[in-house]
Every structure is written in C-alpha cells, then in structure tokens.
Homo-oligomer: A and B are copies of this chain.
Amino acid sequence: MKPDLLQQIRKPTLLLDEKKARKNLKRMAEKAAAQHIRFRPHFKTHQSAQIGEWFREAGATAITASSLSMASYFADHGWRDILVAFPANLREIETMQELSARVRLGLLVESEEIVTALGKNLALPVDIWIKIDTGLNRAGLDVNDPEAVLALVSEVRRYPGLNLRGLLTHAGQTYHASSNAEIREKYAHSWQALAKLRGEIASGGNPSSEISVGDTPGCWLSDDLGQVDEIRPGNFIFFDSMMFDLGVCAWDEIAVAVACPLVALHARRNEAVIYGGAVHFSKEALQQDGQASYGYAAFFTENGWQFTGRENRVISLSQEHGVLRLNPADFHCLKVGDLIGILPVHSCLTVDALENYLSLDGQEISTLLSG
C-alpha cells in the first residue's frame, strides 16, 4: 500500500485490489468459455457499473441482478440481457414493464398465481426461469416434484408474452459443506437433478429448457461445470473470510479489505478497538472454536495486505466499532491511530454497507448505492 494512500484514510474504507479481482474474474470467465457455457455473473456482489466493465472486457454480455432496482441501474449502464434472480415481486410489475422495453429481461417464478399475474399484466415478452430447489430449502419448487414443475410449465406456456427459458437453481447448500470434495458433489448433484428434470419436461412435449446454476463454491471448484447452459456466480470476484474458511479460496485471493482506524488498545486482553462496526461490515458471523468471528485481520504491506493467522480476528461488532483480538506478538506491533485491514466475512454485504471502493492506486469506485 502506498503510504500516502493510507495516510488519507480517516474512516472505515473499503479497499479493492483490482489485480486480484481481475485474476479471479479471468479464471471464472475462461473456465466457462472453455466449456461453451454462458457466463452470467451475479452483479449483487460488486453493484458497480465501473467494475461491471471489467466483466465486459472478460467477455460477459449477460448478467444477474438480485433486484429490479439493481437491474435498472445496470440497464442504464448498457447491459442488455439481465436476469433478476429473485422471486418475481408482483408489487413491482410497472418496473418490470419499463425494463422489458429496453433489455432482454429474465424473471424468476415458482407459483402459478405469479405466472398468471405476469402473463396477464406484462405487455412485452420476458424470459421466464422456473426456480428449482435442489436442496437449499429456501425458495423454489422441489426438484423431486416434476408434476408441480410441469403444471407451472403449462401455465407459463399459456401466455405468448412469457418465454419459457429454463430451470434455475441456487445450490447454496455448498456454503455448508465440510470439504472441497463435498462442494463438488453438491454442485454436480444440483445440475444433474436439473438435467433429469429437463428431460422430464421435454418428454411432456414441451420445448427444450436451459439450465442455470450459480453458487461461487461449486462453480469455482468444479473443473467440469456439467451440462448446464449458464453459470451465475458472484462472490468469486472478491471472495471473503467465509469463502476462505470454507476452503474455496486462499487468503491472497480475497480482493477486498476494510481499512479501519485503531482507536483504543487493551493490552491485558490483547484487544484493539477498531472504528468499523455492524454498519460497515453488516453482521454476518463465522463460528470459530464456538465463538463468533466477524473477519480476519490483515496487516498492510508495501503492495497490499498480509493475513497473519486465524487467531487475529474481530470477536464482536457494535454499531460503529469492533473488538479485534490478536496474538500478543502481533498486538504489540499496534498503536492507536494506525490502520488495520479486516477481511470481511461476507464481501457482498460489506460492499452494500460501505457503498464505495478505494482502489490500491487511489481511485474511488462508486456503486449503485453511492450514485
């Protein structure tokens, strides 16, 4: 880190190492391209038009958003094929209409009444993806219930404006796996289950459906992405302490860190109070030895930051401050007024909370949230 860059930081600041992010991006884009699979990255992680351009340079032409507001923002920035991977919200039909006039809009459905409402109220054609639950138990039709899926397919096909695009799942159960092998298994199971379901739909006389999958752990770790048409990973661009703990990435693949001023030191407890709290990180926690952890410490170096072991971590977060516990040797290197880096537990939520990035070469990068 350039000393003059650190010098100008007054408050918790989201630092972005562009080189690491672009390297992560390149690996994922190339893997998809090599297997002739559409790369439809989830932009909820970075929420930034400028970072979106890095994806365009890497060959992406289609994207995923998690809300219609986010889709509108990226439509304003030239994206023309946008899937909103969130169950269609009937209260926003006007926004869907507006958006479908200027982009190829994909919507997610899982119930007949939603399909009926979309079919009756949307004037322009949209792509319809049926949300399938392959084991996360959050949203979607059960992958083992082809009758329900076929009924929904029939309802979609009643409306000429609804283009049945395919089946979509988020195999977020990979986030709870205990090994890389288990992540790959869960990923493979999820697309295989969708492929079987696709066969059952086709044998019912329906047109062919695409398959869209998308969790970062599965897409990052699986050499064979399987018989899918597109992948929608998002988090891999930055990674975070959660992905590091899960064994998906190395610490030096984490592309973001929050620079936090040290405001108090408590030598008896080897604890530092940092300016950096729940309003900066959100409050996602990891569990470590039965204790909550809110992110690992990283010490700034000439070229970036250095992870120094899992024992150096944030053990509590209040609204504006956090308590960082360190091993004694590292603790004694600190003084009040210094900056420490924190590798966030969940980079997507931290980006949403901080709304702006500062790149390592001193450039401010805005997001949808910062305007």
Q: Is the CB of A264 within 8 A of B320?
A: no
Check if A261 sits within 8 Å of B323, measured CB to CB. Answer: no
Comparing A222-230, A242-250, A278-286, the segment that makes contact with chain B is A278-286
Q: Separation in Å of the A88 CB from the closest CB of chain B?
A: 7
Q: Which residue of B has the minimal Cβ distance to A234?
A: B319
A40 within 8 A of B: no
A103 at the B interface (CB under 8 A): no
Q: Are B137 and A88 in contact (CB under 8 A)?
A: no
Determine whether the beta carbon of A139 is less than 8 Å from that of B320.
no
Q: Cα distance A216–B259 when bound, in Å?
A: 31
Contact flag A265-B319 (CB < 8 Å), given A90-B337, A282-B282, A352-B279: no
Any chain B CB within 8 A of the CB of A114?
yes
Out of B11, B111, B139, B348, which one reaches A92, CB within 8 Å? Answer: B11
Does B111 lie within 8 Å of A265, measured CB to CB? yes
Contacts of A91 in B (CB 8 A): 9-11, 261, 337
Q: How far is the CA of A11 from the CA of B92 in the complex (A)?
A: 8
A89 at the interface (CB under 8 A from B): yes
Within 8 A of B (CB), among A44-98: 44, 66-67, 69, 86-92, 95
A251 within 8 A of B: no
Q: Is B349 a contact partner of A11 (Cβ separation < 8 A)?
A: no
How far does the Cβ of A360 sit from chain B's closest Cβ, in whole Å?
A: 19
Chain B contacts of A353 at CB under 8 A?
A: 353
Q: Is A263 among interface residues, defined by CB-CB distance under 8 A?
A: yes
Is A151 an interface residue when CB atoms closer than 8 A count as contact? no
Q: Is the CB of B352 within 8 A of A319?
A: yes
Do the beta carbons of A261 and B320 come within 8 Å of each other?
no
A349-B319 contact, Cβ under 8 Å, with A261-B91, A336-B113: yes
Which residues on B sit within 8 Å (CB–CB) of A139?
A: 264, 266, 273, 321, 323
Taking CB atoms, residues of chain B closer than 8 Å to A346 are 278
Copies of this subunit: 2
Q: Among the listed B89, B266, B275, B319, which residue makes an inter-chain contact with A263, where contact means beta carbons less than 8 Å apart? A: B89
**Interface contact A278-B273, CB-CB below 8 Å:** no
Task: Determine whether the beta carbon of A320 is less than 8 Å from that of B66.
Answer: yes
User: Which residues of A in the span 249-276 have a Cβ within 8 Å of any Cβ on B?
Assistant: 261, 263-266, 269, 273, 275
A174 within 8 A of B: no
Which residues of the partner chain B approach A11 to less than 8 Å between Cβ atoms? Answer: 67, 69, 89, 91-92
Encode A320-360 as 1/0 by CB contact (under 8 A) with B.
11010000000000011100000000101100110000000
The reply to whether the CB of A363 lies closer than 8 angstroms to some CB of chain B is no
By a CB distance below 8 angstroms, the chain B residues around A69 are: 11
A316 within 8 A of B: yes
Asked whether A114 lies within 8 Å of B320 as measured between CB atoms, the reply is: no
From the candidates B111, B138, B263, name the one contacting A87 in the complex (CB within 8 A). Answer: B263
Q: Give complex CA distance A67, B335 in Å.
A: 21
Within 8 A of B (CB), among A127-173: 137-139, 172
Whether a CB of chain B sits under 8 angstroms from the CB of A306 is: no
Q: In the assembled complex, which residues on chain B have CB atoms less than 8 Å from the CB atom of A264?
A: 87, 110-111, 114, 139
**Chain B residues in 8 Å Cβ range of A352:** 279, 319
Q: How far is the CB of A285 from chain B (nearest CB, A)?
A: 8
Q: Is the CB of B319 within 8 A of A348?
A: yes
Asked whether, in the complex, the Cβ of B336 is within 8 Å of the Cβ of A114, the reply is yes
